Amino acid sequence: MTKTSLLETKKIRKSFVGVVALKDVSLNVWENEILGLIGPNGAGKTTLFNVIAGKEQPTSGAIDFRSQDITRLRPDQRCHLGIARTFQIPQPFSQMSVFENVMVALHFGASGHTGQLEDEASRILAQVGLERWAFDESSSLPLGARKKLELARALATKPTLLLLDEVMGGLRPNEVTEIMEAIRQVRATGVTIIMIEHVMRAVMGLADRVVVLHHGELIAEGSPAEITRNEAVIEAYLGGAANVSA
């Protein structure tokens, strides 16, 4: 079977004052895969998401999405093309209810009667297991529910490519299992997913392929099993501040 590239980063470089966060990162993401993106703290993972989603401009390099150069597009334009992301620190409209937050995201991505959008919002909340929180103010949610709301808001824009930045971080084991199942279902609908994750059980259980960033460089790529026994990866984690939880 031939693989089709949905996203390609071409020698992406991102320099900040005093640090080069990404050093010529070239990467293909295949249609409908779940790609795990791992690496020690400060490796450049979130910066790569920021560059893909358009929050940051690369210092050099280019990004193709469906063979179209999107490097200069604004974040909202990329969102309309089908790129959605969650934030490492959840960013809901905190005074609004969970349901209202999802409705706002739906209005951005879709057209339809309010009734249809409400049905859609309910469906998405069920998909991520948030029904019981639907009418609670977002600021009052416990961490697990806030993470699920990040996922729901991203799903509401009907993404082709979903970027997940540590959606499992700080969750209880049963919540991790729930979100893993939700992610499996999302992929089954045809969505391509890149997940940044320190929770190794989730990465190894979900990803088809894993890439490893270290000091802004891609140092390894392979199946989850290959990555866990890769010498350079073991060294990167043991040599730095190890932050891999079981």
44: partner contacted, choices ligand ATP, Mg ion, none (Cβ within 5-8 A by kind): ligand ATP
Nearest to Mg ion of 14, 45 (CB atom) = 45
Q: Which stretch binds ligand ATP (CB under 6 A): 39-47, 68-76, 170-178, 199-207?
A: 39-47
Nearest to 37 by CA among 56, 50, 20: 50
Nearest to 152 by CA among 140, 137, 172, 134: 134
CB 94 within 8 A of CB 137: yes
Least distance (Å) between residue 162 CB and ligand ATP = 17
Nearest to ligand ATP of 41, 95 (CB atom) = 41
* Residues contributing to the site for Mg ion (CB under 5 A): 45-46, 88
The yes or no reply on residue 86 touching ligand ATP (CB under 6 A) is no
Amino acid symbol at 5: S
CB 194 within 8 A of CB 203: no
227: partner contacted, choices ligand ATP, Mg ion, none (Cβ within 5-8 A by kind): none
Helix, strand or coil for residue 189?
Answer: coil
CB 20 within 8 A of CB 13: yes
The yes or no reply on residue 21 touching ligand ATP (CB under 6 A) is yes
Q: Which stretch binds ligand ATP (CB under 6 A): 43-51, 92-100, 187-195, 220-228?
A: 43-51
CA distances from 226 to 28, 29, 40, 83, 230 (A): 18, 18, 18, 29, 6
54: partner contacted, choices ligand ATP, Mg ion, none (Cβ within 5-8 A by kind): none
Least distance (Å) between residue 12 CB and ligand ATP = 12
Site string for ligand ATP, 199-228 (x = CB under 6 A): ------------------------------
Through-space distance between the first and last CA atoms of the chain, rounded to whole angstroms: 34
Half-sphere exposure of 147 (CA within 13 A, CB side): 21
Nearest to Mg ion of 130, 167 (CB atom) = 167
Q: Which residues bind ligand ATP (CB under 6 A)?
A: 16, 19, 21, 39, 41-47, 88
